[in-house]
Amino acid sequence: MTSRDYLTQMFALQQKLNDETNGIGWENGYTKNNRMINWKRCIYMECAELIDSFSWKHWKSINKATDWDNVTVEIVDIWHFVMSLLLEDYKTNGKGDLEKLVHDILDVQGFEAFTKEPLSPASADPMELINDIESIIHDMTGFEVDFFDGLLREYFALSRKCGINLKILYKFYVAKNVLNQFRQDHGYKEGYYKKVWNGKEDNEVMLSLLSGENAPSIETLYKKLEGAYAKA
């Protein structure tokens, strides 16, 4: 697969998930249940959860190891909302279709490096990573978003420092997309979905099903989640 293929498939999956979850026309800022959508808030709240993967507290657990598995989950969660914000922006402001959006992302400074081998997380300075995360939070708290020289450039650089490149992002994004669809199909929005399965969060269960070089297909992963959920 080419970089264009990876991006096109992820954005198509995100569009489909948003259409099914929020209703057609969600780009106008409201769900089918008339709930207001704020993708920028979603991004900076996920960024806050990402910060909690690191030992940032000066008064508690100062020697706690970084939870790199959770870092991966949160990086992928942020990407869901970054894509949603971009899809909304291109639709409501008439900037072009999915093909144009992907073309523009391919030209972002730092994207080419993001397609190469990621950096080793072991060599990363946690405080530097937290500063990078807070820079993205800052981007999301203003009225205007600089998508290409700001948000995306910073996101790709941060992800690579955390050991995630385009290929890895794609693998875990597709898996999390399946989990998100599974959640919606099993009462997540209505409030009766069980997020903890036999003492493990569903994210952990999903990660355990991705072990090995070749990730299961979308259909296989969904069935595996159904089997695990039935035993929860």
Spatial neighbors of 115 by CB under 8 A, at least 6 apart, are 3, 165, 166, 167
pLDDT of residue 217: 82
Token pair, residue 192, equals 């009766």
pTM of the model: 0.88
Residue 151 and residue 222: Cα distance in Å, rounded?
31
- pLDDT value of residue 208: 86
Amino acid, res. 230: A
How far is residue 136's CA from residue 144's CA, in Å, rounded to a whole number?
A: 13
pLDDT of 222 > 90? The answer is: yes
The percent of residues in the chain predicted with pLDDT above 70, rounded, is: 98
User: In angstroms, rounded to a whole number, what is the distance separating the alpha carbons of residues 144 and 62?
Assistant: 36
pLDDT value at 210 more than 90: no
Return the pLDDT at 142. 86
What is the average per-residue pLDDT within 77-81?
97
In angstroms, how far is CA 70 from the centroid of its own chain?
A: 12
Q: Tens of pLDDT along 11-30?
A: 999 999 999 999 999 999 99
Q: Give the domains, in start order, of the chain with CATH numbers.
A: 3-173 (1.10.4010.10)
pLDDT band at 212 (very low <50, low <70, confident <90, very high): low
Would you state the structure tokens that stand for residue 175, as one six-digit string?
């898996």
Q: Is 213 a residue whose pLDDT tops 60?
A: no
| Local confidence band at 59 (pLDDT 50, 70, 90 cut-offs) | very high
Task: Report the 10 Å Cβ neighbour count for 86.
Answer: 24
Q: What is the mean pLDDT of the chain?
A: 93
Residue range 141-199, pLDDT digits in tens: 988 999 999 999 999 999 999 999 999 999 999 998 899 889 999 999 899 999 999 99
CA atoms within 13 A on the CB side of 34: 0
pLDDT bucket at 232, cuts 50 / 70 / 90? confident
